[in-house]
Every structure is written in C-alpha cells, then in structure tokens.
C-alpha cells in the first residue's frame, strides 16, 4: 500500500475524530446543565467534558504535525446534529435513562474510531501519533465503563424519584 494513501486515510480519520469530539461536547454540555438529581452523573460528565477538550487539543496537535489546513474541517453540521439528539430526550420524562443509553453508545463509537485510527497509524508507521491516540482511547474506555457500572444505580434512582412523584426533572 502506498504510504501517501495510508497517510491520507489517517488524516481523514483524525479529522473525523475531531468532528466526533466536538459532537461529544455538544451532546454532553446540554445534558450536564439540566441535571439536578443525579450529581454523580453530572460530576462524571463534567470530568469527561474536560477530558474531551484535551482530546480535541491532542487531535489538533496531531493534525498540525501532518500539516493539515484546519480551516477546511466541517465540524459544525455534526455539532448541530448532536445538540438536537440530546434535546430529543428531554420530552418523554425519562431523559436520564435515554441519555445514559445514548452516551454509552457514543463512547463505544469513539472507542471503535480510536482503535481503527491506531491500526491505521501502525500500518502507516506513524508511531509518533500513537501515544496521544491511546490516551484518548483509554479515556473513552473509562467513560464507557463508568456508564456501565452506574446504569443500575441511575435506573434505581430514576424509579425512586418517579415513585415519589417527581416531575420530568433530570
């Protein structure tokens, strides 16, 4: 496989990951601002928002090392889509559950994206890029694990709030 082909596929993957991370911010930020009754979820989302901002900085650094013109990146459309997906869950009164499912799915999308990027980096011999990608991957794995570990508690809390006649408040 010609090196410039692998390189171009890798750069496209980095750009897609950059857009994905901006989408992640546009999903998590509206969620965390609405949470009142699930402080542990809010704290973990806050942490992951800060992690995500650092992930974007790492991707920016990688893209600048590959001398890409950052102005060409079309992140905006994806960000809007993400915000709308988050809003869609606010209506039915089980927002915290649907957001948990969606976040769990999104973290696994990110995990797959970074695993694939790491394979491309290995194939292209871009060994200077792998450390940053692994940091991002590890943070996604940790976030997915946290959501999985807390899903039962969040569900039980949701049940208890609903039983106590709480409104649709998150």
What DSSP string runs through 53-100? HHHHHHHHHHHHHTT--GGG---HHHHHHHHHHHHHTTSSS-HHHHHH
Binding partner of residue 63 among Mg ion, Fe ion, none, CB under 5 to 8 Å per kind? Answer: none
Cβ closest to Fe ion, residue 25 vs residue 124:
25
> In the complex with Mg ion, which residue's Cβ is closer, 19 or 96?
19
CA dihedral 109, 112, 114, 118 (to 10 degrees): -170
Residues in the chain: 170
Contact positions vs Mg ion (CB under 5 A): 21, 24, 52, 55, 110
116-155 residues in contact with Fe ion (CB under 5 A) are 140, 143
- Provide, rounded to whole angstroms, the least separation between the CB of residue 167 and Mg ion: 32
Which residues in this chain contact Fe ion in the complex, by CB under 5 A?
A: 110, 140, 143
């Amino acid at each position: 496989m010609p090196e410039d082909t692998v390189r171009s596929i890798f750069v496209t993957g980095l750009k897609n990951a950059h857009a994905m991370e901006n989408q992640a911010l546009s999903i998590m930020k509206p969620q965390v601002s609405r949470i009142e009754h699930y402080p542990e979820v809010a704290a973990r989302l806050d942490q992951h928002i800060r992690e995500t901002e650092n992930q974007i900085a790492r991707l920016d650094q990688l893209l600048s090392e590959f001398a890409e013109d950052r102005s060409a990146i079309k992140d905006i459309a994806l960000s809007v889509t993400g915000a709308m997906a988050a809003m869609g869950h606010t209506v039915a009164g089980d927002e915290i559950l649907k957001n948990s499912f969606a976040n769990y799915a999104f973290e696994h999308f990110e995990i797959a994206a970074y695993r694939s990027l790491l394979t491309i980096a290995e194939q292209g011999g871009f060994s200077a890029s792998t450390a940053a990608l692994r940091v991002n991957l590890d943070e996604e794995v940790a976030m997915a694990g946290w959501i999985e570990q807390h899903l039962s508690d969040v569900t039980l809390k949701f049940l208890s709030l609903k039983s106590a006649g709480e409104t649709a408040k998150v």
